[in-house]
Structure 1
Amino acid sequence: MPGQRSLCLQVISLYKRSIMKMRYLISCVKILIVVLVLTLFLKFCIERSAFTQLSSNRNLNRPSYGQKGLSDKASLLTPVVRKERCIWEPPPKRNVIPKIKLDPTKFLYPGIRSGPNNQMRQLLKIVHVAILLNRTLVVPNFYSHFSVGQQIVQPYQRVDVDRICGLVSCVTLETFQKVCNGTFHNVFLQKQNFPGNFYITTAKDTGLAIRWPWDKTTNKVKSTSGLTVERIFPNKQLSLTEIKEYFNVPKPCALYPGHADDMSFFYLKPSLPLPDMVEDISKLQEDDLKFAIMEAVGALPQVIDDIALAYSQKVFKGDYVGVHWRYDDSDWARHCTVFKDPTCKNFKRISGKHIATAIHNDLQKSMTKFTQGINIYIAAPPSMLTFAQSIVTELKRLNSTFHIASQTLKEFVTDKIDSCFKKNNWHFGDTLSLIEMALMQRSEYFYYSKSSTWSKNCQQRRWFVPQNGKLAVMKYEASIFDLSEAVLMSGS
């Protein structure tokens, strides 16, 4: 019928138009895909060409830290390829010119042990000894806490290597191994000897042989092959002059084990910074030199400082009070059995309520300083978390203006960790402890734990946090143990 035929023709016409539109759309998509592919290919070629050009101009075999570094201006002129990288990766190598240039043919390796904070205190002394002996410092391995097996910690995960090598001439352990041909030549001791296990572990971790034990009479071991290894052991505490006298030997590769803590580093008066280049070490005041060592060795890795700052800005948004309560049965209590610390008399009797009351009473005189309420951060060992929570509960009960962190540091840091954290062997507990130290050194007030190297290192570093544009300005500090003990004894 005519009507049906007309309808069929209309349907066929519509179908043909649809096919044509579909073909047109497909053609457009194809053209877009081709254009996109060409654009990406062109971009890749341009970037590849630029990368090749930059790579050809870069010094890809930069020297180790030490004598042959480029000047600061030369470093600035060196092209840098910028790329996104994980914050936990080793920092890019920089060419650092040390203020104190040491003999590039003689070296001193710090044999540091014990807990992480004792390692830092030992390193202070050993850097001083390296300067006295005019021996280039070898940047050493560090170790995590013995409670987790004292695993090796890479230097960049514990200290700011550039800061240390900006003070004294440094080389890496790898350079030291090559120069020393696989063996130490001397071991420098004072009044403290070390057990055989120390030497065995040090040899294993450094890749350099230490032949132990020594002959009791000569302090030497003669092997059928290799050099004689000599132990210099006067068996007494040496003065600075005696250190230079006893350990002034010609052989290049020396080990200096971390001896008993040198507390003189922690009772220094603020001093002016050292000049950009120290030509004559003998003209420096001893306290000035120690203060410079304390500033350089005490600097935490940049990533640690950055995370502490980001956390404090997000959580506190202003000044805050830091509290460190260290007195746990699982570790610190060794002070009671080994060192007979007088603090042991009452540390188990002090409760979270005593500590909270002590903080509250001491802050009464400063309430007006904190106009937005008082932010408080409590640092404590992992085994003391329940106890720390009892302090928080009591603080909130005593004063509603006390603000405790709404997000824990552990939660905050977990969000910042990616796959390269484990790839680069960062230890989570060790890292958290360092970030807490960075928080304590930035705090406006600090309630420290006496008889704690962790607290003592925080106090040391607080000298070097800028305040009103100046360094070496002492901020408020008080012993949380003494304050809490006073509350305990008063019966409050």
Structure 2
Amino acid sequence: MMFIRNLVKVLGAGISVLSLTTLWSDREYLIGIHKIKYGVSRERNSVYNSTASYSKTVETKLQRIVQEQKLPSAPTQLPTRLSNNTAIHSCELQWNILNLNVTVYEADKVEAQTQKEPEQSYVPPLLYPDPEITLNRTSYLIPDLIWGPNNQLVGFMESVFVAIKLNRTLVIPSFLKHNTDKQFKRGSRNKISPLHRVDLVALCKYVSCVAVDQFQRACNFQIDGILNIRFMKPKDFAVIERDTGMKLNRDRESGEVLLIPKNGTSPSRLRLTFTERDITSLFTHEAKCVVYPFPFFDVMTEDKGSQHVLYSRLSSNAFQKQADVPPDVRLMASIFKHIPRPAYIRQIAADFIGFMTYGGRFMSSHWRYNEGDYLANWHCGNKEINQKRCDKARNYTSRVYAERLSSKAKALAKRNLEVNSVYIATPRTDLSFVRNTSRDLAEFTDSLKIYHSLHLEEFMKDRYKNCEFLTPHFEDIVSSVEMEICSRAVSFLGSLGTTWSGNVFKSRMQLKQQEHETSPDYIFRVK
């Protein structure tokens, strides 16, 4: 550790004020990291206390050195971090490189306004000036996202696909928090900046995109039309106006909103799905500023005479650009590749993995079967397959889960892929189940330690305590970091029927790291 290296430097070659300052800060960090490494549970307190005692002993030696060399007893002003372990005064994470107006993206309600003199000639600047795919600069498509964070991500990727096919510049929308997030506010739209969900630099280098406030200005705060893929009720129109901060441009005589195409949906046809070849024939229109409402599993692909959700057809072959991959699947794979998680999310994940594994390998899992959400009646009762999954999950004990993890680790060891840790991502409401799993794991192996969100949260609060931008959306950010961690594990056991696990599987296929399993594997399966 940097702390020990600094101590050797002090004892072996004398000490300077600068070295002492760095050492002093590392001493504080040593306790924090061991608190993460060994946990803060009651059974680990002795380890943590011994670590703190050790640090105190070293500090006493340092104080003696200070006195002998007549140096100040403590630095009066610590410098910005001099090593890679932690930040002292400044945040080491970069997040708003594109300087988006975060207030516009996260305001609960932006009052639509109309400029007195519309700027007909105004063309908003691209977030990245020379993208790989250049789209029409005076025609726009903005998605209005819906449901949970990973459903939103799927819908966002479908929106990029449609924007490319329609030759419309993509407008980067707001995302939304999950309704189980402890920072979720009832009665609020709970918007979150896209900077916390996707790497906009990577995306906007790939395809033409603009910020929402620039889009509002170019469109004079008016929406010209809506893709008619959902049967729209008056309340849906109100949601679109609220989310975009713009007014719908209605016909002066009839008061109707332009739906593209007009006959796309009806009370007897609530939803319109479409394939790649349908997009231009259905949605081509001269309207300038168009909304893609509530996208999710809308874009289909044909395979052996039947239609399937295009996103679900992403596979290792698609990411490896195999010759037999259909063009629409290949394009969706390319879009997925260019929408990685934000760079700062990837950095946090890499930092935590280093401390969790000490440079070794680890496996990961996603336990999603929580009461009140996945196991709620509205989910379990809407399909026979969901009912089977729910029944299996309710009868799946922590001991059985521990045995599953142990057997997976042993299978990896037979392939010379020994792991020393397992990270389990789970909703906060199921942490007690994961703790019980950790307890039961000792019956099967003593070489694996389980980590979960509480370890990650404490790590983040300690290491990035000066990164204030994390605070308003901390739980949402933790979930994104967990997805990145699971994507980088040697092996991943997912939960059936969840877009969270599905997106991790696709991330693993796209990353295709050496030694890592890329074929989907689950905690359990049902027939």
TM-score by length of 2: 0.66
Per-residue deviation, 1:346: 2.0
Aligned position for 1:411: 458
Q: 1:304 aligns with which of 337, 340, 345?
A: 345
Within 1, Cα distance between the matches of 2:151 and 2:417?
Answer: 38
Answer whether contact 2:398 2:437 (CA < 8 A) is retained.
yes
Aligned position for 1:91: 97
Structure 2: stretches of 5+ with no match in the other structure: 1-88, 100-126, 266-271, 300-308
Within 1, Cα distance between the matches of 2:149 and 2:367?
Answer: 17
Matched letter for residue 250 of structure 1? E
Within 2, Cα distance between the matches of 1:97 and 1:454?
Answer: 32
Per-residue deviation, 1:264: 2.0
- Return closer, same or farther for 1:444/1:420 CA change in 2, 3 Å cut-off: closer
Within 1, Cα distance between the matches of 2:389 and 2:357?
Answer: 32
Within 1, Cα distance between the matches of 2:408 and 2:320?
Answer: 34
Structure 1: stretches of 5+ with no match in the other structure: 1-82, 212-220, 275-283, 487-492
Within 2, Cα distance between the matches of 1:228 and 1:198?
Answer: 14
Answer whether contact 2:135 2:207 (CA < 8 A) is retained.
yes
Within 2, Cα distance between the matches of 1:105 and 1:332?
Answer: 43
Answer whether contact 2:151 2:499 (CA < 8 A) is retained.
yes
Is 1:222 equivalent to 2:251 in the alignment?
yes
Per-residue deviation, 1:271: 4.5
**Cα distance per residue 1:155-192 (max 9 Å; x no partner):** 111110111112211011011001110110010022x3
**Cα distance per residue 1:66-103 (max 9 Å; x no partner):** xxxxxxxxxxxxxxxxx965626522457452111111
Q: 2:264 aligns with which of 221, 234, 241?
A: 234
CA RMSD across the alignment: 2.9
Matched letter for residue 302 of structure 1? A
Matched letter for residue 507 of structure 2? R
Of the structure 1 ranges 437-446 and 239-248, higher mean CA displacement relative to structure 2 is found in 239-248
- Return closer, same or farther for 1:292/1:197 CA change in 2, 3 Å cut-off: same
Aligned position for 1:478: 521
Within 1, Cα distance between the matches of 2:417 and 2:273?
Answer: 52
Matched letter for residue 413 of structure 1? M
Is 1:259 equivalent to 2:295 in the alignment?
yes
- Return closer, same or farther for 1:408/1:460 CA change in 2, 3 Å cut-off: same
Aligned position for 1:68: none
Answer whether contact 1:142 1:155 (CA < 8 A) is retained.
yes
Answer whether contact 2:512 2:518 (CA < 8 A) is retained.
no
Answer whether contact 1:116 1:144 (CA < 8 A) is retained.
yes
Per-residue deviation, 1:287: 2.2
Q: 2:395 aligns with which of 349, 352, 357?
A: 349
Is 1:200 equivalent to 2:243 in the alignment?
no
Within 1, Cα distance between the matches of 2:407 and 2:198?
Answer: 37
Answer whether contact 2:438 2:449 (CA < 8 A) is retained.
no
Answer whether contact 1:96 1:162 (CA < 8 A) is retained.
no
Is 1:110 equivalent to 2:143 in the alignment?
yes
Aligned position for 1:209: 247
Give the % identical residues.
25
Aligned position for 2:279: 243
- Return closer, same or farther for 1:229/1:477 CA change in 2, 3 Å cut-off: closer
Within 2, Cα distance between the matches of 1:257 and 1:449?
Answer: 28
Query: What's the secondary structure of 1:463's corresponding residue?
Result: helix
Matched letter for residue 240 of structure 2? T
Aligned position for 1:18: none
Aligned position for 1:314: 355
- Return closer, same or farther for 1:404/1:333 CA change in 2, 3 Å cut-off: closer
- Return closer, same or farther for 1:372/1:248 CA change in 2, 3 Å cut-off: closer
**Cα distance per residue 1:417-443 (max 9 Å; x no partner):** 445525x76411101100100000001
- Return closer, same or farther for 1:273/1:133 CA change in 2, 3 Å cut-off: farther
Within 1, Cα distance between the matches of 2:457 and 2:283?
Answer: 46
Query: What's the secondary structure of 2:141's corresponding residue?
Result: strand
Q: 1:436 aligns with which of 482, 487, 501?
A: 482
TM-score by length of 1: 0.71
**Cα distance per residue 1:362-401 (max 9 Å; x no partner):** 3332224467653111111000000111111111221111
Q: 2:365 aligns with which of 323, 348, 358?
A: 323
Answer whether contact 1:273 1:292 (CA < 8 A) is retained.
no
- Return closer, same or farther for 1:135/1:95 CA change in 2, 3 Å cut-off: closer
